[in-house]
Each structure stands twice: as C-alpha cells, then as structure tokens.
Amino acid sequence: MLKQSFKVCLCWRRIFKTRVVEPPLDVKNVFYRYSPGGMMTIDELLRFLIEHQGEQNATKEDAQAIFDSLKHLNIFHRRGLHLEAFFRYLLGDHNLAHPPSQKVHHDMDAPLAHYFLFTGHNSYLTGNQLSSASSVEPIKDALLKGVRVIELDLWPNSKGKDVEVRHGGTLTSPVDLQKCLQAIKENAFTNSEYPVVITFEDHLNSNLQKKVAKMVKETFEEMLYCTKSENLEEFPSPEFLKKKVLISTKPPKEYLEGETIVEKKWKKSKSRAGEDVSENESATARNEHQTSRQQNPPDEAEHVPDEDEEKAVNQYRELIAIHAGKLKGGLENWLSDDPNKVRRLSLSEQELENATKTHGTEIVRFTQRNLLRVYPKGTRLDSSNYNPFVGWMHGAQMVAFNMQGYGKHLWIMKGMFKANGGCGYVKKPDFLLQRGPNDEVFNPYDEFSVKTVMTVKVILGEGWHQDFPHTAFDRYSPPDFYTRIGIAGIPADRDLKETEKIEDEWLPVWNEEFEFLLRVPELAVLRIEVLEYDTTGRPDFGGQTCLPVSELTTGIRTVPLHSKKGDKYKHVRLLLSIKFGLPYDF
C-alpha cells in the first residue's frame, strides 16, 4: 500500500496510507448475479445491459465493443470479464449517465417557437459588463459550445462613419463588426448544423444601417435567410433553416417617420409611459443622448426622408427574418398574439418576473407562436446570471445568459442544452404548446402531482489525486470530500441533498441513496457538485456537472465532473446508481 506525506513543519510530517479503489458491494452483487461463475461472458454482459442498465436496444455487438475497449488493460481476460475488469468498465466512458454521443432525436420540423434556444447575452464581451474587452473569441467559443443565438450591440464609431460592436456607455472596448460577422460565419455550424440567430441591438442611423446591410449580405451570402414578407403567420422550423443565419432586430420605422434614434430616445426619456428603453443602453449612454438632444434640438418642421434614406432603410429591413419590438401600451399589448404575424418580444429578467405574477398564462399563450427573449438585468455588472426556469416554465425560447463567467445558473443552462445531442435546440414539453377545449393553456402556478420518483445512489468517487496536486485541498492531510446532489427545475421540484463527508480520503465511498419527487421531469436538471470540507471557511471546489433528467440512463453509471468553467476533468468522476419509478412503486 502506497503512502503520502504532508509536511507540517521542518521536523514533522504526517503520513497517510493511500489505497486503490475497490469494487463496492453494489458492483460485486450485480456482477455475481449475472456471472455466477466469476467470469462475465459477452452473453452475460448483454443480459446485464438489457435487464439492469435498461438498454432495451442493446445488441451483442455493443457487448463486444465493451470487451474490445478493455483489451488494453492488464486485467483483461480473453474468456470474459472478471470483477476488476467489470468495475473498470462501469467507471469508464462506455458507461456514462448521459452519453455525449446521443444524436439529435427531438422532432425538428415544428415552428421555431416550439423550441428552447441556447442563447447568449452581449456575446462579444470577454468579462464583466463595465470594463472588459470586446473580442471575437467569446463569440467563437459560444458557437463551438452549441450556443445558437448571438447578440451584437451596434454603435457608430468615434467618427460616426463606421460601425463597431460595444456595450454603450461603459468602459468596455469595441470590436469591429466585420470581424464578428466573419467569426460567426466560420464557426456557426461546426458544433451544430441548426440555425444561428444574430440579434442586433441597433443604435445606428440610416446610412450606417445601409452599411450593415451590405456587410451582412456579403459576409453570409447564401447562408443568410431572408423572408419574402414581413408578416409571417408562423416561424419556419429548425430543420428547414439548417445551416442558415437569421437576423433579428427592430424594424427601422423611425427613419420612415423622420426621427433619428437620438430623438426617439430623448422623447422616451421625457415620458416614462410605454417606455421601450434599449436593454443594453446604460444610464451614461442615455444621458449622452439627452445632452446631445438638448444642445442640438431637432427642427420643428417635419422631416421628409429622401430617396436614398428610404432605400437604405429598406435594405436594412430586408435583412430581418425575426422582427422584434414591443407594441405601444402596457404588458397586455406586449403579449397580444396577432394571428397574422409572429414576432419577438424582449423582457428583462425583472420585467418577466413581475409579468408572471399577473400574466403567467398570457405569457405561455404568447410563446406558443411568438418568441420571447429574456435578458439579464442591468445591475449584473459582474456578468452573473439568473434563474432560467422562470423563463422556461413560461415557454420563453431565448433565455439569454452571460457566457463569460461561471456559477450555478450557467452550469444549469449548459446542463439543459446537453439534451438533444447538444445541438442548441431543445423541444419544449408538449404541455407548454397545448390548449384545452376552452382554449386554456398550461398554468405554471397550478399544483402538480408527482409524475415520477428518481432515486440516485452516490456510490463513490475517484480521480482527484490524478488531476489535482496532493496539497490542492489541504496542506496537511488528504481531502474530506462530500457531494451535493439536487434537482433544478420548477419550484415544486427543486431539491438539494448532501452526503456525509469522508475524512482524509482521495477515494471517497459514500453509498448514500436519495429520492427526488418530480412533478415536471421534462424541465428538470440533475445538479451534482463535489466539495471539500474546510474547517476554516468556505468549502473547496472539487468538481460539478449538470445533466438533463429526461435523458439520464438508468443503472450503475459513471458521471465525469467538470471545472467551474465547464472544462471536463480527465479522471475525476462519480459512480452513481440511477433508477426511475412511479410514486406508488416506492
């Protein structure tokens, strides 16, 4: 047995014995149940896959592939798998609780409004919302991780003759629009072939909009999807829009009406009723607009747009595949559903939260045909995020997140979009799309009965001593790991449980079982986080993952863990036992 020493002072070291992980009792029991002779054959492994792991479609070829994957190990035996080899298979990448190899399997032929879209907010920022640099790198990174909605804020440059992408009214640096468009073109369909939506937050005059129209058309060419009519009765499907790029922004009506954006902003600052303030326009930017307007008041005479101005507006308008904007009036008007025209509405997280208190079912009804985009409130200067389930349980398709950092909510977001092959589109549950005989829709605040009970047994963990320095968690002893495991979902399903801590052990064995009562499993995400107990303060981080409950495989499964930023560790993983049953089965 190996030993590990921790230096306490010049003359004293603490010595700890390190052990090799051994098959736990659960693994031994199932192994001998299916291979009483002590050597598991291909036929016995196949029976194990079908009966215990719930892989009803498993074949002899699948069992053979598992055998072949173990041939490089010294413990492999030609006649079959003995206990140690079987245990190594259970801990390996051929036995994941959520296999990344799962292909797109949702129906992709429904209208775009029937899907949740993996959506970014201020996609060009590298860090915080106040002073970080703008770059094409976070745009590339987001697309390669499956994000399907990219947001760009368009502003005139300092000379007013060109367009740049930046967070207006802040200390963030700009990045060239052409570079952003080129980065999107080159990376849009590397991870997923389903459509990419670019949302423009537009602060441009008609001449610059004309430049943008030319730039977008020349960059994307045949990739660009443009509609023949502004009045779409229904959005096309993701399948129809494969490998297409769509532009979504407000139509430039103000120029046809003879008003500049500065004048529009100034008018709205004078009257708060029915205000539609830009989501990314900071207080500083609004003050700049107001000062400019006061120093240079517009002529009282009506402005009549000339031919070139109207042409520029039309060229820009032709780009827009998804029209955005709020109707005049209050919330009831915003959520009105025009049977002849679908559109996109944007609400801040705070606006949505307030709206759900009085108009919950109206939001669900609106999102059955139209798109709802939710974005972080302006006070999240640190690029933090919010609870995505408020939006999802009301049918919001575009729950926009800051992808620059990390944290619980971003982990949950990434976990949700591991579903459906990680293509960036997840089909909404049917109950969000259905209407009853009296035209009633799903009410998120109704009481729901339990549909299923998920039982998860946290068996053991391994890999920390390979991926971390031996003093990473404690300078004087091996770590004291414990696991937090819970459900993120609708309020009634939310739950969090915790194992006991295992002291001074790199290979913790917990063998603790937990039950989770699920009322809306379609919207549930399994949250797992391993922490190291620290008597002096906050626990140290030991890995995390989030997985869509609807796609979890049953049986004894391995779960690789990831860093705070979402990078997968090479060796750190947990061994779990997962099963589902009806409430009366337990």
Quick one: tokens of 338? Answer: 């025009």
pLDDT above 80 for 44:
yes
Work out the average pLDDT over 470-496. Answer: 92
How far is the C-alpha of 80 from the C-alpha of 526, rounded, in Å? 34
Contact 185, 220 (CB under 8 A): yes
Segment 258-271 shows an average pLDDT of 43
Note the pLDDT of residue 155.
97
Helix (H) or strand (E) holding 260: none
Mean per-residue pLDDT, 520-533: 97
Distances (CA, A) of 340 to 112, 174, 317, 363, 367: 16, 39, 19, 18, 15
The label of the residue with tokens 């926009």 reads 400
Token output for 522: 């379609």
Q: What is the pLDDT of residues 391-407, one digit of tens each?
A: 999 999 999 999 988 89
pLDDT level of residue 308 (50, 70, 90 thresholds): low
Is position 121 annotated as part of the catalytic site?
A: yes
| Nearest CA among 303, 293, 308, 306 for reference residue 263 | 293
Residues 94, 65 contacting (CB under 8 angstroms): yes
* End-to-end Cα separation, the chain, in angstroms: 42
Is 70 exceeded by the pLDDT of residue 287?
no
Task: Tell me the per-residue pLDDT of 311-358, one tens digit each, with 9 for 90 and over.
Answer: 667 889 999 999 998 888 889 999 999 999 999 999 999 999 999 999
What is the reported pLDDT for 278? 56
Q: Over 60: is that where the pLDDT of 293 sits?
A: no
CA 36 to chain centre: 45
Helices (H), 421-551: 464-467
More confidently predicted of 563 and 474: 563
In angstroms, rounded to a whole number, what is the distance separating the alpha carbons of residues 333 and 355? 12
The beta strands (E) that lie in 447-494 are given as: 452-462, 481-488
Instruction: Return the structure tokens found at 274.
Output: 């029915």
Helix (H, G, I), strand (E, B) or coil at 394: coil
- pLDDT, mean of residues 140-153: 97
Task: Provide the mean pLDDT of the chain.
Answer: 88
In the residue annotation, 167 being an active-site residue is answered as yes
Helix (H) or strand (E) holding 509: strand 509-518
Look at residue 477 in the predicted model and tell me its pLDDT. 84
Could you tell me the pLDDT band of residue 307, with boundaries at 50, 70 and 90? Answer: low
The pLDDT score that the predictor gives to residue 347 is 97
Place of tokens 């989030």: 546
pLDDT tens per residue across span 430-467: 999 999 999 999 999 899 999 999 999 999 999 999 99
Q: What does the pLDDT read at residue 540?
A: 94
Q: Tokens for 188?
A: 């849009």
Amino acid letter, residue 479: P
Q: For residue 101, what pLDDT is reported? A: 72
Tell me which of 258 and 92 has the higher pLDDT: 92
Could you say which of 98, 167, 203, 289 is catalytic?
A: 167
> Taking Cα atoms as reference points, which of 509, 359, 376, 325 lies closest to residue 444?
359
Catalytic residue among 52, 77, 106, 121: 121
Q: What is the pLDDT of residues 160-204, one digit of tens each?
A: 999 999 999 999 999 999 999 999 999 999 999 999 999 999 999
Residue 131 CA to residue 133 CA, distance in Å, equals 7
Contact 305, 255 (CB under 8 A): yes
Length of the chain: 586
Would you say residue 39 has pLDDT above 90? yes
- Name the band, by pLDDT with cuts 50, 70 and 90, for residue 297: very low
* Residue 43's pLDDT band (cuts 50, 70, 90): very high
More confident residue, 483 or 269: 483
Do residues 261 and 209 lie in contact, with contact meaning Cβ atoms separated by under 8 Å?
A: no
b/e for 335-373, b at 16 or more Cβ within 10 A? beeeeeebbbbbbbbebbbebbeebbbbbbbbbbbbbbb
Q: How confident is the model at residue 289 (pLDDT cuts 50, 70, 90)?
A: very low
Q: What is the CA radius of gyration of the chain?
A: 28
Closest alpha carbon to 103 in 417, 412, 423: 423
User: What domains are there in the chain, each with its CATH number?
Assistant: 1-95 (1.10.238), 112-271+282-293+308-432 (3.20.20.190), 447-586 (2.60.40.150)
- How far is 543 from 575, CA to CA, in rounded Å? 14
- Cα gap 480→503, rounded to integer Å: 4
Q: What CA–CA distance (Å, rounded) separates 159 from 177?
A: 15
Percentage of the chain exceeding pLDDT 90: 75
Query: What was the pLDDT predicted at 75?
Result: 65
Residue 305 is predicted with a pLDDT of: 53
Token pair 């979402």 is found at 566
More confident position, 538 or 499: 499
Q: Tell me what pLDDT residue 57 has.
A: 93
